[in-house]
Chains A and B, each alone.
Chain A
Amino acid sequence: MSRKILLVAMFAVLFGVFATSMIELETLFNTYGKTYFLEHGYAETGASNLVTAILLDYRLFDSLFEAGILLIAVSGVIWISKHDVEEKNAKFMIDKYKTPDLFITFARLVYPLMLAFGFYVIINGHISPGGGFQGGAIVATAILILYYIDANKETNIGLIVTVEKILYLLIVLMASISIITQGAFFTNFFNPSADADLKAIYLVLLNVLIGFKVALGLWTIFTAFLKEGR
């Protein structure tokens, strides 16, 4: 009982500290960064979606390690997972006879639409809401529906992880091209004064690479959990 009283007291202290720090929030927060992105963001990066401009140009260094952490976590999940990578023909947890026929029929209809929508979100990441990470999640969801349609589907996890590693290397290489053309790390490889449509080529390429990498990573995690649950 005394432990819970101590816990509540600790939470009260934490809450007080936070509430007093929030009083000064109005003076701490300023709009210089926002104004800068609003005025120069499109001209400097060629992306009218400012979140993509920050992710893929201003703070590309962060995004690279974000993709790297995804790769490391996928490797960890597979390594912890009980079954070997070489095992191909695992029986999955999903039983075909328990999945309703209605779901299977509609999944076949919805599957190409989901895939097309995922590609749309990936490719238009620089002019509309979305981008590589979000579109990759949609594509991964579309792929996972296939496991409900065909329960005996074979998956070669080793091949998927190898392709994912190659894609990560390609992302790093694509981000490093700018050291040759621009003399600076991790930015657009076109000149900042170039036309905005020309600079969008770089954004689309990087979005597509990141999207496929994220889709493959989430697919691998799902497959590892399926094999574990049998």
Chain B
Amino acid sequence: MKIGVVTFPGSLDDRDAARAVRTVGAESIALWHGDSDLHGVDAVILPGGFSYGDYLRCGAISRFAPVMSSIIEKAKTGLPVLGICNGFQVLCESHLLPGALTRNHALHFLCSDQTLKIENSSTAWTSSYQVGDEIVIPLKNGEGSFQCDDATLARLEGDGLIVARYVGENPNGSRNMIAGITNERGNVVGLMPHPEHAIDPLTGPSADGLGFFTSILNQMVSK
């Protein structure tokens, strides 16, 4: 089981994502933004950070990196892809997921432990959870406010495409408290908070984030 973790110029959380992959017993493969070869990986993680300095819009330039051409093509035929934070922004800019992430409504950069409620446990990345589970993982972003038009929001709600919602006060102004969404197929998931920073109580607020990584492992093993 090989899970690729992409490094863009400006990625920050690629090492933690790779560590999370190894923690659940999968092999982590480093993918480079300038290389369109996916090296035979079974799934891909787009990590958090500030790829290409967040110039223009977050994720707008990364979306055209050579590695993304291959990921976009394969994601459309079922390759599991998890985009965390900046990775979520890249997925929206790639149009693999609808909507966009915009500036937090209070303009502050957020960095805190955030409670989330899992809303969909049938995606490639959330099958280890139960719907209604509450998890605590770090949230750290400046542009994490999920926005989309009313029709898209109705579709996300109606088709069960919301993966996780913020619990408590809305931290960043996201519509309907959306913290993460998936595509119809359930192979592509974008999440603003960081499960890869919550895999060990020694270094994170909990080990609640592990479920994202065990989910993908279980899916691959059961295939």
- State yes or no: do A and B come from one complex: no
